[in-house]
Structure 1
Amino acid sequence: MDDQSIREHITELIATEHELRTRLGKGEITAPEEHAQLRKAEVQLDQLWDLLRQRQARQEFDQNPSDATERPVDVVENYRE
């Protein structure tokens, strides 16, 4: 996946988040449904942002950005700041 594809997928997931909030506001889905689907989208977003950062770092240090890989959810979701 190249940077442009990653950014497009990120944009789609952000649109999904907005759609879920709108659907909840209209009463089309329940709060638990919205939370579950939002959580899934947020996890995917975290993985994609991480992948994009990896690709950019590789490029910055003259390495092949295509060697970056999507990290597992438990790795991405448990970063310490």
Structure 2
Amino acid sequence: MTRNGPARDDPARAARWALAVLTLINFLNYIDRYVLASVFEPIKRELHFSDSELGWTLSAFMIAYSLTSPVFGRLGDLFT
């Protein structure tokens, strides 16, 4: 039996595509969290930070990230 009109996409193919896109987004999010570590030396040099102050910088970033993630996650759930 044939149909007239556009062919329907395979649902499994669409699911695989969605999974690939979401995996890529998650990977970029993971990498973004650790970008601060890659700029430690320029921060240390420009701001004249000690090793301890530099460690506190990363700690403050991770604490702020941890505290805001649930808030923005909830907002994302509410508005999608």
Q: Same fold (TM over 0.5)?
A: no
Structure number with bigger Rg: 2
Q: TM-score by structure 2 length?
A: 0.41
